Structure 1
Amino acid sequence: MNLFPVLFHDYNCRMKWRRSYFYIALGAVLLIGSSLALFAGNHFRWYKAPYDHAGKAVAWIIGMPEPAYNFDTVVAGRLYRSGLPDARFLDYARERYGIRHLVSLSGASEVHVRAKELGMNVTVLNWRTDKLPVDDLKLLLALFDGTDRVLVHCHAGRDRSGYAIALYRISRQQWTVERAIRDMEAHGHSRRARLETDRVLRQALAELAEQHVGLRPRELDPQTPPHFATLLALAIVNGTFMRSCPDMGSACFP
């Protein structure tokens, strides 16, 4: 009996199994390596969220989609932030966090159609980052105050969303401007633009303070100049206002 065909067949089977194991192991190594590269890169700032399509695909595979979209919780059950969601992430956010209202700061997008299909309300604004529109800020603060489960997004979730959340943190949670800027940078906002970021935030705060939006003095002397009221509002926001102010009449904050 010729055993060569049998041995050759067994050899081929073993080689096929070895190749299969090799490709499975290679795939696992590549998946783990790319996952570590994505998330370590985001942590050490050489790869910023939101991720590209390949990065998002890996994030979904390993069950960690939120960093891929620069998603974060601002106030649990009330306010969330992210970069531009796609339909898949919108479904995820709706199911996991119960998002009811989507706010875009980067204009209209096709994903807003999906948001409406999910029963969400959609507010569309189109911001620049050199000057924040005070009317939009008033609208946003009122929305954040009166609505729960809101997701605010722009394209990357770094700049426009960063400004919106920073102003919420300052005017509603008594954060300082400096702390709010550090939070923006933690979500990808450029550290090189810190001076410009500071200027834009303070300008927006001054305009809001002039209209007494969110910064409410206990009592203000009728003779107090408007710009002085603004300075007081900014001082209390930054935590630099002295509670004892005998030379300032009744223009003191609680």
Structure 2
Amino acid sequence: MLGLLLAISGVAALYAGITVAQGNFHTVIEGELYRSATLSGTQLEAALTGLKVRTIVNLRGASPDQDWYREEARLASAHDVILINLPWSARRELSDAEVAEFMARLADAPRPILIHCRSGADRTGLAAALYLAAIKRADEETAESQLSLWFGHIALPVTPFYAMDETFERLEPSLGYLDS
């Protein structure tokens, strides 16, 4: 049984790794919300021009000493795109204040919005789930599906990124999900 569990875990990790390596770019709501890993300059340029992204939400926080961040900030400026930097950690639950700031910043942000973190799986999954739940009033299953293996998120209590699942579970009553 342990061998089977390890094999399944290995396949899941391989799938998640391949997904992240390819940019983990997904449409959440066509023309309104997209999610991804940190994109290369070429990938980000394509999203900004092709999808006409107007706001980027970087969940890694401002990192002016990093090449990826300088390129992202340069492209955002060149395309007159708003860049919102939120320093979330996937290894700890978000505070109510962090969630409130995210909601407030996205409420009036120009659409389409691109949300990303490093891998596009954990922090980005929670952000997309919160957007669907609080802003779009999606049903619980639809919102929570953003935190799934499909996007590279492994929702097991033994993983260091399970804090994203715990944050969503804690917030469910305030999001209107009373029967979970």
Q: Secondary structure at the match of 1:127?
A: coil
Q: Quick one: distance in 2 between partners of 1:46 and 1:155? A: 13
SS of residue matched to 1:107: coil
1:143-158 paired onto structure 2 within 5 Å:
143-146=105-108, 147-158=110-121
Q: 1:140 aligns with which of 102, 107, 130?
A: 102
Is 1:95 the equivalent of 2:49? yes
* Matching residue within 11, 19, 26 for 1:49: 19
Greater helix percent: which structure? 1
Gaps of 5+ in 1: 1-40, 52-67, 207-230, 242-254
TM-score of the two chains, using structure 2 as the length reference: 0.73
CA distance in 2 between partners of 1:102 and 1:92 (Å): 13
1:175 and 2:136 correspond: no
Matches for 1:27-46 after TM superposition, within 5 Å: 45=15
Partner SS for 1:69: coil
1:60-109 residue CA offsets vs partner (Å, 9 max, x unmatched): xxxxxxxx211111122221111101211111001110011111001222
Cα distance in 1 for partners of 2:17, 2:133 equals 28
Q: 1:107 to 1:197 in 2, by over 3 A?
A: closer
In structure 2, list runs of 5 or more residues that go unmatched: 1-10, 63-68
SS of the counterpart of 1:116? helix
Deviation at 1:152, TM superposition (A): 0.8
Deviation at 1:46, TM superposition (A): 6.3
SS in 2 for 1:84: coil
Q: 1:87 to 1:142 in 2, by over 3 A?
A: same
Which of the pair has the greater relative contact order for Cα pairs under 8 Å at 6+ separation?
Answer: 2
| Mapped partners of 2:144, 2:139: distance in 1 | 10
Deviation, 1:198, is 3.6
Contact 1:100 1:120 in 2 (8 A): yes
- In structure 2, the partner of 1:78 is 32
Which AA in structure 2 matches 1:143? R
TM-score, normalised by the number of residues in structure 1: 0.53
Q: How many residues align?
A: 155
Q: Percent identity?
A: 25
Q: 1:89–1:48: structure 2 CA closer, same or farther, 3 Å change rule?
A: same
Structural RMSD (CA) = 2.7
| Aligned partner (choices 201, 208, 211) of residue 168 of structure 2 | 201
Query: Which of structures 1 and 2 has the bigger CA Rg?
Result: 1
Farther off after superposition, 145-154 or 128-137: 128-137
Find 1:126's aligned residue among 72, 87, 100.
87
The match for 1:20 is: none
> The residue matched to 2:31 in structure 1 has which SS?
coil
Q: Which amino acid aligns with 1:118?
A: H
Kindly state the Cα deviation for residue 114 of structure 1 after the two structures are TM-superposed. Answer: 2.3
> How far, CA to CA, are the matches of 2:122 and 2:163 in structure 1?
12
